Amino acid sequence: MKSLNRIVLSLLMISGSVIKAQKADIIVTNGKITTLDGRNPEVQAVAISGNKILQTGTNAQILKLKSTNTKLIDAKGKRIIPGLFDSHLHVIRGGRFYNTELRWDGVTSLKKALQMLKEQAARTPKGQWVRVVGGWNEYQFEEKRLPTLQEINEATGDVPTFILYLYAKAWLNKAGLKELKITADTANPIQGLIEKDTNGDPTGLLVAEPNAFILYSTLAKLPELSHEEKINSTLQYMTELNHLGVTAVMDAGGGFQNFPDDYGITDELNKQGKITVRLPYYLFAQKKGTELADYTKWTGMVDIDHHTSNGHNEVDYYVNGGGENLVADAADFENFLFPRPELPVTMEKNMKEVLSLLVKKRWPFRIHATYNESISRDLDVIEAVNKETPLNGLPWLFDHAETISEENMQRIKALGGGIAIQHRMAYQGESFIHRYGKKTALAAPPVKRMLELGIPVGLGTDGTRVASYNPWVALYWITSGKTVGGAQVMAKENTLDRKKALELFTYGGYSLIKNTDKGKIQKGFFADLVILDQDYFSVEESEIKNITAKLTIVDGKIVYGDTDYKAIAPKVLEVIPEWSPVKYFGGYQKN
């Protein structure tokens, strides 16, 4: 009898703890909630317990889960979506420099852009530079033209200035040429041009022909921020992403992003629990000829099993694999002002050595490939490796794939790969058409066909040095087919509807890494969600790119709130240094 009583008492205690566990920490009510859960696609309210979605439903249903400690959030009829997952962005590198950069992203006139340049030059101290680094093109300006070197020099005077235009060219003002000691005798790098005038003196124009090394190697020579300023800069960048509704990023490494040294800032923030976006990242081979040695070293020092808590921060921060650059021989630069580069004959051998290692070590991988010709040769290597060491479900993907063929999509499908696409054509569509013609651009990339074949597809931005990091520009591009300048580049029949596009920017991205519990507002999924300032599903097409978040929740925690949610949002962090363009202009220019 005593034994029976103990059992009954235990059951009652378990039942009580389950009831207690069902109470919510956060409840969001009065929303138009797009869950992307096929069984329950739109609801009014959502309950969060810890870092998971507890339940969705009507206000009345969800409010039953309230306790005295529950935080209630009124969405006031606004649209709520799952947090956006950018499947290709450069946050770790971009964060270190964000506070140094004057962003022309979203600026609608060259006159305003030059005025911003002049204002920033006036406040930039000696020893620092004015720098505009990607996220814009001439077609977004009402003048429909690029700045001239004369205009740049007039606006900036004796303050060194670097302005990057896509991965095609850059301008240095006279002070910048002097600071970097670029003279008539300075030699051109391989596949790069330092333009000279009729006297043989450098004009200030640097041209990728087509190799972008001349651009990002020059950028790498510019002064960096202090450690404290880099910490602040990275936090400001993540907050800017949260302000745009981004809750997760796959960081694709990038040029001059050395592991582990250049990961120290995010490592430190992770230990402090201050990272506000999920951040699985890839290790990018930096130096031609040492790629195999680098990956051998990295696979020996990094534990790829990231599915356990790191002990400091529940938000994901871990090495997710190798890429997007695996070997220098495979780089096919997306510079549409010049012809497609031919990859060297040594590519296959060098790529196979690295891929064989990664597959044997069960490291996921991703490969930068703009052109179908490159993808064909990459696939030859992947197929050869797969015969020797089967992939067996190992996550892998191509990045970009603007001109991929039907045959190569079929090959990717057969090998269990995915494709991460970005809105580079929103910034380079006009240049692409000038070189390859309108017909080729109509389905570049052929995203609808990828989806018809059942290939996992994620949507992202590839910010910050070519395209903007603003995810809403990507959603505008993929649903309208238009560039930031308004040109209809992708055929309307090849665009996606708004729901499908949102799927690619949420759980579609997670499908690339075979993660099945993020990207939806669904019971048991991780609690990443965003209250929007405008209804994505009903705003005018042109307004999509101007959407921002009113409130952003990552891993069950509020990481951003506008003035309406100031009382429950984190305190706004002051921008340092004092001269930072971010302090005066912010990031994306919402005109």
Question: Which pLDDT score is estimated for 359?
Answer: 98
User: Over the stretch 375-388, which tens digit does the pLDDT of each residue have?
Assistant: 999 999 999 999 99
Q: Is 519 left (phi over 0), alpha (psi -120 to 50) or beta?
A: left
What's the mean pLDDT when you consider all of the chain? 94
Which residues contact residue 114 at a Cβ distance below 8 angstroms, ignoring those fewer than 6 apart? 147, 151, 152, 155
Instruction: Using CB atoms within 10 Å of the CB of residue 462, give its burial: 0 to 12 exposed, 13 to 18 middle, 19+ buried.
Output: buried
Q: Is the pLDDT of residue 12 over 50?
A: no
Q: Characterise 3 by phi-psi region: left (phi > 0), alpha (psi -120 to 50), beta (else).
A: alpha
Burial class (CB in 10 A: 0-12, 13-18, 19+), 61: middle
At 8, is the pLDDT very low, low, confident or very high (cuts 50, 70, 90)? very low
Predicted pLDDT of residue 73: 98
For residue 308, give every residue at least 6 positions away whose Cβ sits within 8 Å of its Cβ, in sequence order, or none.
none
Q: Using pLDDT thresholds of 50, 70 and 90, give the confidence band for residue 10.
A: low
Give the strand pairing for 169-172 and 130-133. unpaired
Q: Can you tell me which residue has the tokens 């044997």?
A: 360
As given in the structure block, the two tokens for residue 47 are 């309950």
Question: Given a cut of 50, is residue 114 above it in pLDDT?
Answer: yes
Which residue in 237, 244, 281 sits closest to 94, CA to CA? 237
By C-alpha distance, which of 528, 372, 402, 562 is closest to 467? Answer: 402
pLDDT at 5: 55
pLDDT beyond 60 at 435: yes
Within 13 A of 353's CA, how many CA atoms are on the CB side?
Answer: 15
* Backbone torsions φ then ψ of 102, nearest 5 degrees: -85, 115
Neighbours of 198 (CB within 10 A): 5
List, in sequence order, every residue forming a beta bridge with 422; answer none if it has no partner. 460
The runs of H, that is alpha helices, within 173-290 are: 174-179, 213-219, 227-243, 264-271
Q: Say whether pLDDT at 492 is over 90.
A: yes
Peptide bond into 260 cis (omega under 30): yes
Rounded Cα gap, residues 35 and 519, in angstroms: 9
> What would the DSSP string read from start to end of 38-99?
TTS-EESEEEEETTEEEEEE-HHHHHTT--TTPEEEE-TT-EEEEPEEEEEE-HHHHHHHGG
pLDDT band per the 50, 70, 90 thresholds, residue 306 = low
Give the pLDDT score at 303.
Answer: 87
Task: Fill in the amino acid letter for 125.
Answer: P
In the predicted structure, residue 3 carries a pLDDT above the cut 70: no
**pLDDT value for 378:** 98
Mean per-residue pLDDT, 200-217: 95
Banded pLDDT at 313 (limits 50, 70, 90): very low
Contact in structure between 533 and 78 (CB atoms under 8 Å) = yes
- Can you tell me which residue has the tokens 């690339």? 512
Instruction: Please compute the mean of the pLDDT values over residues 428-454 and round it to a whole number.
Output: 97
Q: Is the pLDDT of residue 163 over 50?
A: yes
- Per-residue pLDDT at 311 exceeds 50: no
| Residue 383 parent element (H or E) | helix 372-388
Share above pLDDT 90 across residues of the chain, in percent, rounded to a whole number: 91
Structure tokens at 184: 């008539």
| Three-state DSSP state, 117 | helix
Among the listed residues 492, 417, 399, the one whose alpha carbon sits nearest the alpha carbon of residue 448? 492
pTM of the model: 0.95
Q: For residue 278, what pLDDT is reported?
A: 98
What is the per-residue pLDDT across 26-57, written as a single tens digit (0 to 9) for each?
A: 999 999 999 999 999 999 999 999 999 999 99
- Cβ 500 vs Cβ 523: under 8 Å: no
Contacts 24+ apart (CB under 8 A), 378-386: 378/330, 378/351, 379/408, 379/411, 379/412, 379/415, 380/348, 381/348, 381/351, 381/352, 381/355, 382/355, 382/415, 382/417, 383/411, 383/415, 384/352, 385/352, 385/355, 385/356, 385/359, 386/359, 386/415
Centroid of chain to Cα 356: 28
